[in-house]
Amino acid sequence: MDERREFKRFNIEAAVVLKPEDGTYRVIEADLYGICFLGAGVYATETIAPGCIVKFELTSKLSKETIVCEGKVIYSTKVKEGPACIFRLGIKFINIDSEKNQILFNFIQHDIILREKNRRV
C-alpha cells in the first residue's frame, strides 16, 4: 500500500490526556503510537466520536514541557475487545503553538539520532 501521508510519522513513547469537548467532562488517558506535524494517533480505553474536538496534552520523557493543543478526532476504531477494550484514534491538530510543535520535533529528531548511534555501537 502506498503511503498517503504528507509528513513522516514518528514513533515515540508518550502519555496523552484527551479532554473531549462533547459535554461529558471526561478525561481520557491514552498512549501515543505515532505523531507528525499534522496530527497524532493514540490508543485509548474509551472511544471519542469522529468530528469531536479534543484538548490534547502530550507528555514525553523527551521534553520537560507538556505540549498542549486542540485537535479533531478523524477516526476511532476498536482494536481490542473484551474486559479492556482498546480504541485507536486518529487526531488532526487544529490549534497548536508552532513554537511548542518545533520544540517537540527537535526532541524527536534528537531521540532518533541517539537511537541510531546506539544501534551502530
What lies within 8 Å, CB to CB, of 40 at 6+ separation is: 16, 32, 34, 56, 58, 71, 90, 91, 93
Q: Where are the domains of the chain?
A: 14-120
| Confidence class for position 1, pLDDT limits 50, 70, 90 | very low
How much of the chain, in percent, has pLDDT values that exceed 90? Answer: 39
Give me the residue label for grid cell 513522516.
8
CA distance 19 to 69: 11
Confidence at residue 36, expressed as pLDDT on a 0 to 100 scale: 82
Structural fold of domain 14-120: Thrombin, subunit H (2.40.10)
Confidence at residue 2, expressed as pLDDT on a 0 to 100 scale: 52
CA distance 114 to 118: 6
pTM, 2 dp: 0.80
Residue-wise pLDDT for 77-119, tens only, equals 998 887 888 999 999 999 777 777 777 777 777 777 777 777 7
CA distance 91 to 72: 5
